[in-house]
A = this chain, B = another copy of it.
Amino acid sequence: MELRLLTYVVTIAEEGSVSGAARRLHLTQPTLSRQLRELERQVGGALFDRTGRGLTPTPAGEALVRRARVVLAEARAALDEARLAGQGLSGRFTVTFAGSGINGPLGAALGRLRRELPRVDLRLRESFNDAEMSQAVLDDHCDLAVQRLPLRDARLATRLWWREPMTLFLPEGHPLAHGAEPAPLSALGQIPLVLWPREVSPRSHDEIIALCHHAGVVPRIGAEGHSVQTLLALVAAGFGGAVLADSHRALRRVGVTPRPLAGTSTGLYLVWRAGDTGPLLQRVRTVLTELGQG
C-alpha cells in the first residue's frame, strides 16, 4: 500500500467524483478509476457506491478516508521534522549547567535558546559537580555542559564562554563593604567565610581555600549552605562573607553588599563530545557564542 493511493481516495471523497478528483490531481479519469479499483481490491470491499452520477463513500470508505487524512498529515510532518532536524532546528537537546552560573548571562542564554529553537525539545539539568557534568556529556546523557572547570579528556571539546571576577558578598555595613573598587585578596582574612560544603561542590570549595592560601591568609569557616540563596541568607545574617561569581550580584539580596576580589577570575566553559558533529549542537553553540564573552 502506498501513500499515493491514500491521497487519491481522499481526493475522490472530497470531490465526490473520480473525474473531479482527476482534474484536481492533474491525472486522467481512467487512471484514477483504475487506482481506486486497486485500493478496493486491497481492502477487499467497495469503498464507494457508484450511484450513476458521482460516488458516495461506503462505511469502509469513510473509515479509510478519515484515517488516510491522518496518515498523510503524519507523513508530511515526518519529512518536515527530518528536514528541520537536519538543520538543527528540531530534535532533543540536553544541557547540563553549573548552578553557580544561572544567575549570570547563562540564564539569559538558555532563554534565548528556547526562543530561537522553539521546535527543539530543550532539556536542562542543573548540577554543582564539574566532573559529573563532563562525565554526563561523555556518557551521552547530555549534549552540552556549561560548567566551571571541565574534565581533561581527549574525547571532550571545550571552549571558554564567559569570564568574570570572583566577588566577595559581604554583610551590609561590614567595614569591608565600604568602597566601590575591588578588594585585595587579603580581605579574605578579615571575615569568616560562608561556603558550600565540600561534598556538594568540591571544586568551588577547594578553589576558595586555595585563594586564601595564595593570599597568605588562613580561612575561617563561618557557615556552610547548600544553595546560593542559603549562602546569601547566611551572609545577610552576619555569619561571614561568601565568595561567588560576580554575576550573582543580580540577586540583589537584601542585607548583602558585593565587592569584587582584585586579581581573581572564574570562567564558564562549553563542553561537548569532540566527535559530535550534529547540526543541533552546531546551532546551539552558535547561539550561545553570540551571547558569550571570552
Contact = CB atoms under 8 A, between A and B. Distances in A.
Q: Secondary structure of the A side of the interface?
A: helix
A217 to B, nearest CB: 51
Interface stretch (A65-73, A174-182, A204-212): A65-73
Contacts of A4: 2
Interface string A78-103: 11011111111011000000000000
A206 B3 CA distance: 59
Interface residues of A, number: 40
Interface string A86-125: 1110110000000000000000000000000000000000
A294 interface: no
Nearest to A75: B71
B63 A81 contact: yes
Contacts of A82: 43, 45, 47, 60-61, 63-64, 67
A142 to B, nearest CB: 15
A67 B279 CA distance: 19
Contacts of A91: 59, 62-63
A68 B78 contact: yes
A278 B86 contact: no
A223 interface: no
A35 to B, nearest CB: 14
A169 B58 CA distance: 47
Given A6-B78, A60-B86, 18 more contacts: A2-B4, A3-B3, A3-B75, A43-B86, A44-B83, A45-B83, A45-B86, A59-B85, A59-B86, A59-B280, A60-B85, A60-B279, A63-B84, A64-B78, A67-B78, A71-B74, A71-B75, A74-B74
Interface of A: 1-4, 6, 42-47, 58-64, 67-68, 70-71, 74-75, 77-79, 81-88, 90-91, 278-280
